Amino acid sequence: MAGLCYGKQKWPELVGEQVSMALATIHRENSYVQPIVVQAGSITPGTADFRCDRVVVIVEGSIVSRVPIVG
């Protein structure tokens, strides 16, 4: 399904970066998506479905802890 989405779809280079910088990078590199910040270990209702307009950014504190990926 990811082949149907526009623009860049994952950002491995953002792991370990500040969340504010990561959000700016995602927006600059793919304006079709809306980043959603989630604390590592939290339960996130409504994110089990795949969506081309969403990037889940998992953080520990203010640091990106996993690769942000469209979905």
CATH number at residue 35: 3.30.10.10
Q: What is the pLDDT averaged over residues 10-31?
A: 98
How many structural domains is the chain composed of? 1
67: its two tokens: 């690769």
3-state secondary structure of 71: coil
The answer on pLDDT for 46 being more than 60 is no
Q: What is the pLDDT averaged over residues 47-71?
A: 92
The domain of 50 spans 2-70
Higher pLDDT, 44 or 56: 56
Helix %, strand %, coil % for the chain, to 5?
Answer: 25, 25, 50
The answer on pLDDT for 45 being more than 70 is no
CB 70 within 8 A of CB 10: yes
CB 35 within 8 A of CB 68: yes
The answer on pLDDT for 48 being more than 80 is no
- Supply the mean pLDDT for the chain: 90
